Amino acid sequence: MNIFPQTFQSLEQALSTSALKQRTHAANIANVDTTNYKSRQVNFQSALQNAMDSSGSLKSFKTAAGHIPFSTENSAGVPSVTVNTNTKFKTNGNNVDMDYEMAEMAKNQLWNNALTERINGKFNSLRSVISDGR
């Protein structure tokens, strides 16, 4: 029995994706001078949209191990990290753009703060209901 509404799971997935994005940008910045390093990117918005789309969809189940697996099974909202190979900013083959990475980290931090405030509001509402509004 799940006592938390789907909103908590969506917010949890969004926070996890935001943390992954922050780690990815930090790794890109750490490798700004590494020869032939290719920057990595997490597509946050598509991962969040996938998580939100799957929350209202019908669940699919296999009734036997030999059945063909569903294409969306266990893949809802799972972000992927892609390597940017089609750009090159430096002569050493590195394609990390420090200004872009810093701007994306700042944008991600704002998004993370908004998600944190939203989940705190949900927990405060839940706390109020549990304590009978006192």
CA-closest candidate to residue 77, choices 42, 112, 111, 103: 42
pTM value is: 0.71
Query: What does each C-alpha distance from 72 to 17, 51, 55, 113 come to in angstroms?
Result: 18, 11, 12, 30
pLDDT digits (tens, 9 = 90+) for 43-66: 766 666 666 666 555 455 566 666
The fraction of the chain above a pLDDT of 70, given in percent, is 70
The answer to whether 55 touches 10, Cβ cutoff 8 Å, is: yes
